[in-house]
Structure 1
Amino acid sequence: MKELALAIDDVYTNKDIKSAIITGAGPKAFVAGADIAEFLTLSPDQGADLAKRGQVIFQRIEDCPKPIVAAVNGFALGGGCELAMACHFRVAADNAKFGQPEVNLGIIPGYGGTQRLTQLVGKGKALELIMTGDILPASDALSWGLVNHVTSAEELIPKTRAILEKIHAKAPLAIAKVVKCVNAALDKELDGYETEIKEFGKCFGTKDQQEGAEAFIQKRAANFTGE
């Protein structure tokens, strides 16, 4: 988790990074979940601290002004499913499997799973998946709206890169504002419509807005600089 946090910090601060893909190291799993043996030693306060640390890291992913996409290649269970859901969207290999099986251990999701799964698939489906602990195959994850695309394992990264290449061609400041506004729609402390008004207005003080309008009028491709 510490290494993940450092990697996300690099996405935020490194100007050469336009986007990021989070994927598993091998074909078997995206992330199979936490070390269950660790749970035997935790007090209630330590359990809450563990959840808090995870939620802070995952919120950094969700709030990142640059696209972070989950390329799910195998099991995404427990914290792995929560990590995938914290990303801006998800592309899954056809062998991917999703689940929040925490109830089998006498606990619940702690890294935002109860909230993000509900946002993505709706209350009824979220309750069913979390309360049963069932494992959802990629095809069902697609029909439920949990993932955007399902592809072969071989095409998983190329497909994800192709989507990101489209996004790279757009205005970076506008992309960041899209993330902010869409997230505001789900934030009870914010008025999403008011956020959109403010961010829309801010676009008109950027060089990218001028470039985009001029390129459209001149019928040429825009050259955005992120300014």
Structure 2
Amino acid sequence: MQPPTGPKIPLSRRHLLLTAGLAVTLPAAPVQAASPPELTVTEALQSRRSVRAFADRRIDPALLAELLWAGFGINRAKEGLHTAPSWRGAADVIVHAATADGVTVYDPRQDAARVWKADDIRARLSSQPFVATAPVCLILVSDLRRLDAAGPDDQKRLYAMVDAAMVSENTYLFAAARGLGTCLVGGIDRDAISAGLGLARHEYPTFVQPVGWPA
């Protein structure tokens, strides 16, 4: 999968625009919200839970930008290392965000989101109905070429699932800290996701993670 090309518009994460044809560049560290205050890590751990019912309320684009950075952004720019670990530093996880407006793909190196597809594919991601009700569905995909040294395909897929789960837990903690709800979903339609995103054979959908305001 080659990232789509398009102009980059430097913006603060607080003013992120995820609109068709635009790419946005975000600062290297997340902006702290003035209100409500973030929870500490311990408080977020105490609050962490799976949520499967979401309010009919959109997630602000700036908050979504921070969510993407928390999941798999780069927190050590000099080394190019991420907020979540991966097998031998493979950094195989590609994070897409599906909304009613379409699908964006997150580029950690640029801390930028680009429009990938204009279609709303949330209802096609899983047979579990609640997935389509979330305003944002993160789609975690592994570039299996980055895991070639792991051995056979089944071993690569195993490490891909583990790496995606690391990203998911970051998302869980960020959601808890900001009052959002989320749930990691393993019962996904990989064929529909691959077709909907136009994935290559080496790109393996691992999980879907709906995110929204708890109902």
Bigger relative contact order (CA 8 A; separation at least 6): 2
| TM-score normalised per structure 2 | 0.27
- Structure in which a larger fraction of residues adopt strand: 2
